[in-house]
Chain A
């Protein structure tokens, strides 16, 4: 397959498949609401009025376009390629998640739904959902693993301040995947008035496509900005991959530029070799979970296993199906960064550039720091700085034995 001429917008196919991945593996009880959602999305995605409404919100409410910032000092010290940061951390609510929640909440409004639900891991998607619900006057319920509620207390309080109800999920591993199960259960019970805002490019079709389309603004802006600032396309893109929404958002508009190397960075946790990680593309295998076929972390009998990452937002045993496909066709290379390396990336950016990055984004930063010195000074890398790190300072302090 020739990357430069392939029609990347033609994926997924009409039934939601990216090659063998994706699809719609759901119970009959969810079929009707999902088809209703698909019909609404297909109608609105090409509707200029809807697009204009979306663009207006991104500009005036989120503050887009987010800057593309040349991290000059950090690049110089690494002694290789120029590193540009796509500053999604500067978005309203502090991460890329809001791009998608605005899109889906507008869709919910057009569909006449009065209640939105969401799952959240790090809490960023929950905050972004609660934010947009407050603005649109919609009821909002956020499902969050009880384990994550512990790790992300500030975000839990933010959601409550915004008027959302945060429901602790105590089943299974008490993390993001279990929150997703619980949100699905809520949706199937309250389909008449409820819209489920999935926070990443996973779940049954059309979610992976829809979330990608809303997040692709990241890559479209970055492409234009790097041409303006550097006069040429980048040599490499780097983004962290949990479910993979900030990554696909950055990558998608560059897929046809075949000379641009693309790296997705998974959470290596304590190290791939220890088995304690959250890197299904590096060390998992294809299976079916949460409505789609994709790479999963599972045991020999097909049970989903617990993941480990210092970053709550990457602590997910699956990954968006488009990433699974991009891996198989060889367009994107998926690598892993361990907890320690990510912490190093966190501190480096904080000290060298005065930017405190989210632990999720720190994985991408750490990988960029690995490859930059192997590249020449006239080359460039765009790193998705998907979120800011304020929410993580408790975690970082605890890991370093500091009590706040």
Chain B
């Protein structure tokens, strides 16, 4: 079984929803990332989404764009990100790690080279924001061959024919983008999300994560009632943004935010119907 399968099977048994934090690797400094990953796991993270910095993160909002810029000040490259995952795996062999980023850094490394090295480093999934299934006919099978699940985004406007296609190619979990817009955008309508999730479930048995617009423990708990995973990114990055020079505060506050979300989500786990 893959780490993803283990992780989601165990959560299901416990009647709990996965908590998936996103941070950009190298933000605010490269040496903070691995300790931060461990802190997040201790605070209740079940999967870690690690952003690969890119100069032009077109699908992300200003918060993640700034995180990328901070990471790139230190030249955090895809090489470095893979080293961070290897480092993390020295003491954590259980928590799945997803690399989230854009295609160009992977293209420059070379697809096969990347797949091999990511597998060796202990990466479980790859979410390439600007690689839709249509453009991934050669790349996606290569990832699969090296044990990397392809995580796909689904949007409120994804039509059924594409839902089918994505469900076939995707692995790990499906990531439903809960609103029109970029990461870190406004608010989210939980009822609309619930309805959409019911619809998507007709097409796939993969666990279904929801992200974009989850800012606090309350929203996380509401989303947890209908989804298999809650993804939180910009809310954490904001903490880094205002504490750039204070690693200890970053650790403490991100840990506390995730712990709050975790406990709010677990409180309603008994009322959840999977």
- Residues in chain A within 8 A of chain B (CB atoms): 15, 23-33, 171-172, 177-178, 181, 184-185, 188-192, 287-291, 296, 298, 300-305
Q: Are B153 and A28 interface neighbours, CB within 8 A?
A: yes
Report Cα–Cα, A345/B132, bound state, in Å.
44
- Whether B87 is near chain A, meaning CB under 8 Å from some CB there, is no
- Specify which of A172, A291, A302 is in contact with B106 (CB 8 Å cutoff): A302
Q: Interface with A: B35-43, B157-165, B262-270, which one?
A: B157-165
B131 — nearest CB in chain A belongs to which residue? A25
Measured between beta carbons, the chain B residues less than 8 angstroms from A303 are 53-55, 72, 77, 104-105
Given A301-B108, A303-B72, A189-B132 contact (CB < 8 Å): no
Q: Which residues of A contact B177 (CB under 8 A)?
A: 28-29
Q: Min CB distance, B255 to chain A, in Å?
A: 29
Asked whether, in the complex, the Cβ of B104 is within 8 Å of the Cβ of A288, the reply is yes
Chain B positions within 8 Å of A26 at CB level: 58-59, 130, 132
* Residues 59-75 of B at the A interface (beta carbon under 8 Å): 59, 61-62, 65-66, 69, 72, 75
Listed residue (B102, B107, B152) with the most chain A CB atoms within 10 angstroms of its CB: B107
Assess the B155–A31 pair: CB atoms within 8 A.
yes
Determine how close the nearest CB of chain B comes to the CB of A231; give it in whole angstroms: 47
Residue of A27, A178, A189, A302 touching B109 (CB-CB under 8 A): A302
Which of A177, A189, A289, A303 has most chain B Cβ within 10 Å? A303
Q: Are B130 and A288 in contact (CB under 8 A)?
A: yes
Contacts of B57 in A (CB 8 A): 181
List of A residues within 8 angstroms of B274 by Cβ: none
Task: Report the nearest B residue to A15, measured CB to CB.
Answer: B134
Distance, CA A172 to CA B67, complexed state (A): 11
Shortest Cβ-Cβ A-B pairs, 5 listed: A302-B108, A302-B105, A32-B157, A27-B59, A189-B181
| Complex interface: chain A residues within 8 A of B157 (CB) | 29, 31-33, 191
Pairwise interchain contact A188-B108, C-beta atoms closer than 8 A: no
The answer, yes or no, to whether B244 is at the interface (CB within 8 Å) is: no
| Alpha-carbon gap, A32 to B66, bound state (A) | 27
Q: Does B180 contact A (CB under 8 A)?
A: yes
Known contacts A32-B155, A302-B104; is A188 also within 8 Å of B78 by CB? no
- Residue of A with least CB distance to B66: A171
Does B135 interact with chain A (Cβ within 8 Å)?
Answer: yes
Q: Which residues of A contact B154 (CB under 8 A)?
A: 28
Q: How far is the CA of A301 from the CA of B105 in the complex (A)?
A: 6
A178 to B159, alpha carbons, bound, how many Å? 30
Among candidates A32, A33, A171, A188, residue contacting B59 with C-beta atoms closer than 8 Å: A188
Q: Please, which residue of chain B has its CB at the minimum distance from the CB of A23?
A: B135
Question: Does B185 sit within 8 A of A, measured CB to CB?
Answer: yes
Known: A27-B130, A28-B153, A303-B105. A290 touches B162 (CB 8 A): no
Give Cα A401 to B35, complex, Å.
53
